[in-house]
Amino acid sequence: MSNKIVKEILDWIYAIVLALIIAMVIHIFLIQPTRVSGESMEDTLHNGQYLIVTKWHHIMNEMPNYGQIVIIDSRVNRARTWVDDVEEPLMNYASVFNKAAQTNDVWVKRVIGRPGDVLEFKDGYVWRNGEQLQEPYTKDTKMNYTRSTSVTVPEGHVFVMGDNRNHSSDSRFIGPVPVDHVLGFVSYAI
């Protein structure tokens, strides 16, 4: 082969590798497509529905607002590392095309409590700081869950729940979620 052909091939390889690196940086740190798995957010989000998640909130360690739909790492009993921030988007990307690659550690939920909030679960409803929440987005009007003691959300944490309260694993079972386990905010549902 002539030097001109070799140079052309190397230029193409360089362009493809550079494009892949840029795409991965965007996917890991800025935006990420993902897919809903399960019924815990019905009727707001449905099983198999695609989501666009903005990731810069996670990088900036931003505290989500009440009602914000977020993606969380449910493994709240372990510290997150930069390896998690690189590995999870890659696994998530693979799971969009191959359901067998999907993990059960990343959940989509709604923020119900922020630091300092006192949450109670009584009469089938959620109470925050002594006031019953008005939650038109929940699937059932009442949930089949009560708790005899209140939960105070610690500093640097959020309390999340699924909209389909009677069919959701969430902070009621894993506890408040550290803000560094909030992986991104759902921006669009497709």
Report if residue 2 sits inside a domain. Answer: no
Report if residue 140 sits inside a domain. Answer: yes
Q: Does 150 qualify as catalytic in the annotation? A: no
Q: Which residues contact 61 (CB under 8 A, 6 or more apart)?
A: 179, 180
Marked catalytic residue, from 40, 74, 168, 171: 40
Residue 145, pLDDT score: 85
DSSP 120: E
Report if residue 20 sits inside a domain. Answer: no
Report if residue 173 sits inside a domain. Answer: yes
Report if residue 22 sits inside a domain. Answer: no
Residue 151, pLDDT score: 96
Query: 88 — alpha (psi -120 to 50), left (phi > 0) or beta?
Result: alpha
Residue 147, classified by CB atoms within 10 Å of its CB into exposed (0-12), middle (13-18) or buried (19+), is exposed
Domain count, the chain: 1
Report if residue 102 sits inside a domain. Answer: yes
Tell me the pairing of strands 69-73 and 50-54. unpaired
Q: 175: domain range? A: 31-189
Query: For the domain that residue 172 is a member of, what is the CATH number?
Result: 2.10.109.10
Q: Does 169 qualify as catalytic in the annotation? A: no
Q: Decide if 64 contacts 176 (C-beta within 8 A).
A: no
Query: What's the whole-model pTM score?
Result: 0.84
> Which of 91, 94, 89, 83 shows the shortest CA–CA distance to 53?
89
Marked catalytic residue, from 74, 109, 139, 168: 109
Residue 88, pLDDT score: 74
Report if residue 14 sits inside a domain. Answer: no
Mean pLDDT by 10 residues, the chain (190 residues): 87 94 85 88 92 86 93 90 78 63 81 98 94 91 84 97 93 95 92
Residue 148, pLDDT score: 82
